[in-house]
């Protein structure tokens, strides 16, 4: 007897059936339920982890969030902003009305801000407001004759007064490609000499030393001061020898 | 028409399994488990190991049913998964040996095959008496129809090893058959002399 060929075996075993015991299905069901619960647990754990991560990130971001959004470091913006500057000396209102035309300031760039160029109706008010009246005058004069000023922060002394920005930040042009935007308060604090405009300067401070010496000399000459009286007294004393000589002669 | 009905019910089963419907899973299991359990018994001599392979294979089938493209037959797809699980158990239990002794064959003498010399149960008994390595390669090549290249890839062996083991399995089966035939002949002679 020889062993049958493969095709015979394939035909025989192809229809072979044998029922498995019933506990096999129970084991399959149990395994499926366990895997399902494991999958559910894993998904919920993953979701919780993601939520925790997001919450932690948000919290850290809130903690490390800078209080002042300026200076903004950005690229792609022009580094010049047009401003109108007025003198802040309240004691000389005539000077405030003379707005400084800073077009003559060297190193200035009059490139308009692209953001503001899109809003032509919006007035840039980088003005110094020492009191309400002056600010009203400033706004009125700005609407009539708007004198742009390119604030070059490399030469802050060229500006007589403080520079304040109403809404827009003043642009600091760094030498590298990045631009740093400063608010007006920061510009004043960092680069400009603050002057106490609350109290008007005394007239004595306005007079120079030479003038004061000349005034004293004038007073002495025309006896308009205590020294003048003293001088008169001295002259009276000095006139006595002449009288004595007259007496002797007499 | 029968084919259409069969395909429709099969598609319903697949859709139910995709939804995780336990009833559809039970129907799929009832349809294919007898054939697959017989297949597991051919590869694994131990019935408990055959049941383990069936449980693992059907669990994987229900989880990976979304990967069934629908181009081939569902039965063929299930069969491949069951065979892979059986081979995994064989590898895990390190029963994959290629040596065997003919004298170690048991329970073959008492097997009666007078009506049909190649009765299915008799043939299965003969194959199960093969050593694990021989049996696996014989099942894969002679019954399932895999090529030596595919067998070599599945079992991580060379093609030449697969070919040599198959030829040895055939010789072993032939000797087994002759031995059983001799036993049957002597039994008949004893009965006739009485």
Q: Is the pLDDT of residue B56 over 90?
A: yes
Mean pLDDT of A18-40: 88
Helix (H) or strand (E) holding A23: helix A23-63
Task: Out of B54, B79, B96, pick the residue that ends a domain.
Answer: B96
Same-domain check for residues B111 and B148: yes
Q: What is the mean pLDDT of chain A?
A: 64
Residues B3 and B92 in one domain: yes
Residue A197, Cβ neighbours under 10 Å: how many? 17
Cβ–Cβ contact B178 with A under 8 A: yes
Which distant-in-sequence residues (6+ apart) come within 8 Å of B143 by Cβ?
A6, A9, A10, A13, B42
In the sheet with A170-172, reading across from the earlier edge strand, the strands are A72-74, A179-182, A170-172
Residues B45 and B128 in one domain: no
pLDDT at A195: 58
Give B124's contacts in chain A (Cβ within 8 Å). Answer: 13, 16
Q: Same domain for B4 and B88? A: yes
What CATH number has the domain bearing residue B144? 1.10.10.10
In terms of domains, do B106 and B185 share one? yes
Answer for the pair A10, B145: CB distance below 8 angstroms, yes or no. Answer: yes
One domain for residues B75 and B4: yes
Q: pLDDT value at position A120?
A: 46
First to last CA, chain A: 192
B54 at the A interface (CB within 8 A)?
A: yes
Could you tell me the CATH number of the domain that includes residue B15?
A: 1.10.1740.10
Report pLDDT for A24: 92
Cβ under 8 Å to A: B residues 2-41? 20, 22, 25-26, 29, 33-35, 37-39, 41
Binary contact (A17, B181; C-beta < 8 A): no
- Percent of chain B's residues with pLDDT above 90: 31
Q: Are residues B69 and B20 in the same domain?
A: yes
Tokens of B177: 């058959």
B75 lies in the same domain as B15:
yes
Same domain, B114 and B43: no
Residues B50 and B116 in one domain: no
- Report the complex ipTM: 0.75
Same-domain check for residues B19 and B89: yes
Mean pLDDT across B65-76: 88
Q: Say if residue A158's pLDDT is above 90.
A: no
Chain B nearest CA to A20, separation (Å) = 6
Distance in Å, alpha carbon of A33 to nearest chain B alpha carbon: 10
Query: Does A180 score more than 70 pLDDT?
Result: yes
The tally of domains found in chain B comes to: 2
Name the residue with higher pLDDT: B114 or B180: B180
Query: Where among B96, B122, B143 does a domain terminate?
Result: B96
DSSP symbol at B17: H
Identify the CA nearest to B136 among candidates B165, B164, B160: B165
Q: What is the DSSP letter of A123?
A: P
Flag the least confident range among B47-51, B79-83, B92-96, B118-122: B92-96
Instruction: Answer yes or no: do B92 and B14 share one domain.
Output: yes
Q: Which of B80, B96, B112 is the last residue of a domain?
A: B96
In total, chain A counts a number of residues equal to: 250
Q: Which residue of B has its CA nearest to A30?
A: B59
Q: Please give the residue of chain B at the shortest CA–CA distance from A34.
A: B59
Q: What is the pLDDT of residues B117-174, one digit of tens each?
A: 567 778 888 888 888 888 899 999 988 889 999 999 888 888 998 999 899 888 888 8
Residue A18 DSSP code: -
Query: Which residue range forms the structural domain that includes residue B192?
Result: 99-194
């Amino acid at each position: 007897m020889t062993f049958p060929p493969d095709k015979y075996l394939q035909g025989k075993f192809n229809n072979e059936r044998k029922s498995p015991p019933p506990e096999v299905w129970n084991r399959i069901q149990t395994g499926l339920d366990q895997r399902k619960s494991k999958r559910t647990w894993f998904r919920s754990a993953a979701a919780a982890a993601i939520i925790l991560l997001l919450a932690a990130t948000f919290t850290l971001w809130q903690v490390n969030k800078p209080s002042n959004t300026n200076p903004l470091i950005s690229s792609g913006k022009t580094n010049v902003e047009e401003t109108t500057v007025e003198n802040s000396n309240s004691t000389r209102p005539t000077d405030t009305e003379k707005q400084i035309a800073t077009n003559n300031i060297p190193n200035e760039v009059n490139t308009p801000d692209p953001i503001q160029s899109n809003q032509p109706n919006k007035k840039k008010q980088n003005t110094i407001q020492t009191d309400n009246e002056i600010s009203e005058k400033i706004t009125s004069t700005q609407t009539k004759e708007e004198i742009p000023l390119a604030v070059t922060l490399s030469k802050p002394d060229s500006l007589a007064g403080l520079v304040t920005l109403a809404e827009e930040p003043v642009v600091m042009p760094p030498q590298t490609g990045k631009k740093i935007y400063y608010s007006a308060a920061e510009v004043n604090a960092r680069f400009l000499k603050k002057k106490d405009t609350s109290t008007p300067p005394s007239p004595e401070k306005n007079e120079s030393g030479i003038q004061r010496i000349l005034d004293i000399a004038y007073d002495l000459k025309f006896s308009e001061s205590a020294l003048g009286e003293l001088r008169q007294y001295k002259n009276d004393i000095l006139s006595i020898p002449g009288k004595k000589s007259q007496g002797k002669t007499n | 028409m029968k084919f259409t009905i069969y395909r429709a019910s099969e598609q319903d089963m697949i859709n139910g399994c995709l939804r995780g419907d336990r009833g559809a899973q039970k129907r799929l299991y009832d349809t294919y488990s007898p054939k697959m359990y017989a297949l597991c018994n051919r590869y694994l001599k131990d019935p408990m190991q055959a049941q383990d392979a069936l449980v693992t294979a059907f669990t994987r089938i229900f989880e990976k049913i979304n990967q069934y493209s629908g181009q081939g037959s569902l039965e063929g797809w299930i069969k491949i998964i069951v065979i892979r699980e059986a081979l995994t158990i064989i590898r895990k239990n390190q029963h994959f040996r290629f040596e065997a002794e003919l004298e170690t064959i048991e329970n073959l003498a008492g097997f009666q095959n007078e009506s049909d010399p190649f009765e299915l149960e008799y043939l299965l008994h003969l194959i199960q008496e093969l050593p694990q390595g021989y049996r696996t390669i014989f099942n894969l090549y002679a019954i399932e129809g895999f090529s030596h290249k595919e067998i070599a890839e599945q079992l991580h062996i060379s093609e030449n090893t697969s070919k040599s083991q198959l030829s040895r399995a055939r010789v072993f089966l032939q000797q087994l058959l002759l031995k059983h035939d001799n036993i049957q002949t002597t039994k008949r002679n004893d009965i006739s002399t009485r």
